[in-house]
Each structure stands twice: as structure tokens, then as C-alpha cells.
Amino acid sequence: MTTFPPAALQEVQLPLLGARGLRLAVLRLDQRPPGMNGNKGYKLQPWRERLRRGEGRGLISLGGAHSNHLHALAAAGCEEGFATVGLLRGEPCATPTVQDLQDCGMTLHWLGYGGYRRRHDADFWQPWQARYSDLLPIPEGGCDAAAANACGGIVVELQQGLAALDWPDCQQLWLAAGTGTTLAGVIRAAEPAWQVVGGLAVPPGHGVETTLQTLLPRDTSRNWRLVDASRGGFGRIDADLARAMADFADQTGITLDPLYTGKLWLALRDEIERGIVAAGSRLVLIHSGGLQGRRALAAQLSALATG
């Protein structure tokens, strides 16, 4: 079993909160080392355990040129000494993430855009498993039931953090959703009294709902809902988002990423401003990492925030 360093639950002070008697804490999964960073360490845990049982000598998976998933996978392979292969969307390009993948020893194959769109075809993995027969294939983003179960460990971290803050509980738990895998695991493990709010990093209808239908028991009675935090597209950023992230960092010292946690905070802030969040509530925002991908957008975010 992978042992994770303890994650801090950091309470933050914001004028927006005090005016409504709200308390907000951030679960700092972003502070962990690259191979365990954010939610990715949990999602990779089942495959790392399989390698330790001798089921293969490495892992192969898919992602883009800024992929948090591939970044964590490459780092884990480097740290633990197993082989990693990445199948990348698009044509060869240089990004900070790609450089890190190469520095960690990951073998890269660029699929083009057409080749990457075939990733859901029934025969997609056949040539890759023939070529790398001793590597275990991981679905895009690590999306499967074992990964969702492992993400239930985030709730254990949160419970420990609540005790450290001397909070008896929380009313809402906010988490960004890209595939829905982590969200499913957190919903299943959450305390019944918590409302889990999934902030869609992709527009509605782009897969998260289907993942939740697959991974959540049909009779689940957990208290959860989805909000559209995508701002019209997964990779779309704008001046309001950039300014909100900059203000949050200035006021709390916590850096957010523009594709997941930044949009999640903006969605939560909007509900607070519109009076949807009940006065006196204790709120938790899970910082699921992703800061490594922010490097390629730093200049753009700065220009938007100050323009």
C-alpha cells in the first residue's frame, strides 16, 4: 500500500466569507511530491500495487502535452524504478510537462489527433499491448473502479484534517471533476451529512455523468450534486478566472491551477455571492494539484489578470 505524506487542511480567511459567517478550508493535496501529487497519487495506487505483486514491469497510459496524469505517472516510475510509456495527443511539441516526462525516463509516442481520437475503439490497445506486453495499460486519466475506490482515501485525509482544525464536520465538500473518477470515490466515502459538490472542469455531457453512473452504486443515497465550472470548455481561460485566481493567491497564499481548482473556486465563489450557500456553513475545497500544468499558461494568466 502506498503511504502518502499527511495533507494539511488549511483554513483561509477571505472578506467574502466573514460577511456571511462562512468558514473555508483547503485540503492541500497539491503539496505532495510529483508522483503522489493531488488526486493522481490515489488514482495510480492500484496499478502501483499490482506492480509490487509482480504483475508487470511498468505502466503505459495516455494524455496530452500538459497532462497531470502522465506527469504523476512518469514521476512515480522514476521514484520507484518501473518503466513508463506515454501515448500523447497531437504532434510532437515542447512543453514543461513533456520535458519532465522525458527527464523522468518516460518513453513517448505521439499519436496525432486522429490517432488519439481512436482511444475508445475496442482494438485501440492491441498493438500497444503487443509491443509492450510486460506493461499494464491504464485508461485515460486513470479512470476505473479500482482508482475510484482508492480515491476514498482522500476522505480519510479530510477527516483527520477536520479533527486537527477542531471542526465537528463540514456542510459542503467541493471537488473538481475531469473524468469523475475521483469524485465517485469521494462521494462513496463521504460522511452522509456532507454535501459533495462536483465542479465540472469539462462541459456537461462530456463524460463525467457517464462515469458517475458507472462507478456509483445504483442505490447510492449520498448527498451530492454537479455544477458547471468549465466556463465553456476544458482549456478555456478568461480574465475573470485569472483575476479570481490571482486574488485568491494574494489573500491566502495558495496557488490554484486554471483548468481545475481555479474554476472550482470561481464556481464556489459565485454560489456564495448569490446567497446559495447557507450562512454559517463550514466548507472544504479539495486542492487536487495540477500546478505543474500551469507553467505553460503562466504568462497568459498574468496578462489576463492585469490587462
Burial code (b: 16+ CB inside 10 Å, e: under 16) for 48-65 equals beebeeeebebbbbbbbb
- Sequential DSSP letters for 227-289: EE-STTSTT---HHHHHHHHHHHHHHS----TTTHHHHHHHHHHHHHTT-SPTT-EEEEEE--
Phi, psi of 228 (to 5 degrees): -85, 105
Q: Which of 67, 133, 288, 302 is catalytic?
A: 67
Question: What is the C-alpha R_g of the chain?
Answer: 19
Contacts of residue 38, Cβ cutoff 8 Å, sequence gap at least 6: 29, 30, 32, 68, 72, 287, 288, 289, 290
Three-class SS of residue 89? coil
Catalytic site includes residue 67: yes
- Sequential DSSP letters for 165-199: HT-S--SEEEEEESSSHHHHHHHHHS-TTSEEEEE
User: What amino acid occupies position 277?
Assistant: V
Catalytically active residues, by annotation: 67
